[in-house]
């Protein structure tokens, strides 16, 4: 132990010991003063949610038996296409859709039918939707689709049919 100044004449040995002790204590890690915790990061990467169009059922558009050959003009007999689009966990997503099918010889923007000189023109939100052209939209606000018969000449009476495929993709 170091003596007090009064009992000892001027000595530096004691001050040097305290300095040495301070350096030694400073170099010892302060155990118990530091807290640690592991970090765990996890998650999963998923593909964009798949969409189901019309519950995987055929979309049907019925024009009925009331079409008059001379009144088929691309305006008369407009029908709304009733379809559903379900994309689980998609939230608000920018998507695109198009209709693929054989086009009429007289109108490459319309779907060919089984009847000569008759095709079906499509509209999305009131605007023409040419066959094979993409239409962007934000899900869940699906476009209103409509179909209207168009004539490319004289029409014969009788039944008709047409087929196409509605495709939906994420942008």
Domain range annotation of the chain? 51-170
pLDDT one digit per residue (tens) for the chain, 171 residues: 555 555 545 555 556 665 555 555 555 555 568 888 888 888 877 677 789 999 999 999 999 998 999 999 999 999 999 999 999 888 899 999 999 999 999 999 999 999 999 999 999 999 999 999 999 999 999 999 999 999 999 999 999 999 999 999 998
Neighbours of 119 (CB within 10 A): 27
Burial class of residue 147, CB neighbours in 10 A (0-12, 13-18, 19+): buried
The CATH code belonging to domain 51-170 is: 2.60.40.1090
Q: Which two tokens stand for residue 131?
A: 């066959």
Structural contact between residues 99 and 165, judged by C-beta atoms closer than 8 angstroms: yes
Q: Which two tokens stand for residue 36?
A: 């640690």
CA 148, 152, 154, 159 dihedral sign is negative
Q: What was the pLDDT predicted at 32?
A: 61
Q: What was the pLDDT predicted at 26?
A: 57
Q: What was the pLDDT predicted at 66?
A: 87
Q: Which residues contact 117 (CB under 8 A, 6 or more apart)?
A: 106, 151, 152, 153, 154, 155
């Amino acid at each position: 132990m170091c003596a007090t100044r009064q009992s000892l004449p001027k000595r530096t040995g004691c001050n040097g010991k305290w300095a040495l002790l301070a350096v030694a204590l400073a170099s010892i890690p302060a155990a118990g003063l530091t807290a640690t915790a592991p970090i765990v990061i996890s998650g999963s990467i998923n593909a964009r949610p798949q969409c189901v169009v019309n519950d995987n059922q055929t979309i049907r558009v019925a024009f009925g038996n009331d079409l008059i050959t001379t009144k088929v003009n691309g305006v008369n007999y407009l029908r709304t296409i009733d379809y559903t689009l379900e994309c689980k966990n998609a939230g608000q997503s920018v998507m695109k859709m198009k209709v693929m099918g054989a086009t009429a010889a007289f109108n490459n923007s319309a779907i060919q039918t089984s009847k000569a000189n008759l095709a079906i023109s499509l509209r999305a939100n009131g605007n023409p939707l040419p066959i094979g052209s993409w239409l962007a939209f934000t899900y869940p606000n699906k476009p209103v689709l409509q179909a209207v018969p168009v004539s490319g000449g004289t029409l014969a009476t009788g039944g008709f049919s047409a087929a196409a495929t509605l495709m939906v993709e994420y942008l």
